[in-house]
Chain A
Amino acid sequence: MIHRILALALKSGVATVRYPRQPPILTEEFRGFLVFDPTKCVGCGACTRVCPANAMNLEIRGNEIVVEYFAGRCILCHLCFYACPFGALVATTSFDRTTTNFEDLFDRVAHEGAACPSCGSIHATKRLIQFVDLVLKSEGIEIEDRLRLCPECRRIEALRALNAFRIGMEREGVEHGVE
């Protein structure tokens, strides 16, 4: 019996991978941790919308908007890599985020926030607004002041404009939507 087992063992050889002395077995398709490039990030928040584990977070802290990658919660789905329009998140095949220091699991970048000219609240990063400006200018679109407002003030402004328009129509005796 033992002879037969020994013969089988000799025939099949050693299965053990001598990691860490030997490189790990990884395929090219392996989804590893992301490398977050703070210089490319504009703080648009697209990654935080798609992340199923909420490992990407966007938070307003005082005058700053902080984008945070928490590798400890990341499930390596790479959805954020496909969602990021600026290539700030680079997909790798590295699984090396092991640490004994909890803070090492976070990658953060703090963006300067842009204040709403009407209410003063921080609603977007300066970099994002600069980028939108650039795109609009290159398309030849005039930038209305209303675009600089925060979403809340923009809604109020739009309603005010609509109301003024309606009152103007009524004065001129135009019935809207009635034959």
Chain B
Amino acid sequence: MLSMALSRRSIWVFHLNTGSCNGCDIEILDALTPVHDVERLGIKLVASPRHADVALLTGPVTVKTLPMVVRALRAMPRPRAVLAIGACACGGGIWHYSYPHLGGFENLRKLLDSMGIVIDVVGYVPGCPARPEAIIDGIIKLVTRKEGGSR
């Protein structure tokens, strides 16, 4: 149902930096610029999470950004989808053993669950930084995903 809902229309994405080093953000911009031009696939960058289908989440979710990240994800309409981009968002990356962050999206998801904020589908795009091609793959996999594949 969810993948149907997403694949029938254009995907609007919201770029959410949760304290990344900007490497992955540059790769997201690379996917948006003419060389990869994701608008040809109907993927459009929007300025507000209220308009977004998918949040492109980069970074290990630092404690400083946490309140804003939670607010942005809560503001997204259902079905909510998150694409965790980069080693940081997938598993904490090189910051894994340092203190001021949650260590990636998996831990944030647990926190969101406890707050009653449901993320319907999550995609993981590992790499440091993730390649723009991999980001395109990630969005396609997110949209064409079979039900019950996640978690």
Contact = CB atoms under 8 A, between A and B. Distances in A.
Contacts of B90: 72-73, 105
A102 B126 contact: no
A75 B141 contact: no
B137 A76 contact: no
Contacts of B137: 20, 96, 98
A35 interface: no
Interface residues of A, number: 28
B149 A100 contact: yes
Nearest to B149: A100
Interface string A54-75: 1100000000000000111111
Interface stretch (A11-19, A42-50, A135-143): A11-19
A121 B125 CA distance: 39
Contacts of A17: 35-36
B35 A16 contact: yes
A17 B131 CA distance: 14
A66 to B, nearest CB: 17
Nearest to A53: B94
Interface stretch (B7-15, B45-53, B71-79, B116-124): B116-124
Given A70-B91, A100-B149, A33 B126 contact: yes
B134 interface: yes
Nearest to A106: B91
Interface in A87-133: 95-102, 104-105
A171 to B, nearest CB: 52
Q: Which 4 A-B pairs have the closest CB atoms?
A: A72-B90, A73-B91, A75-B128, A72-B91
Interface of B: 34-37, 40, 87, 90-94, 96-97, 104, 106, 121-128, 130-131, 133-134, 136-138, 140-142, 145, 149-151
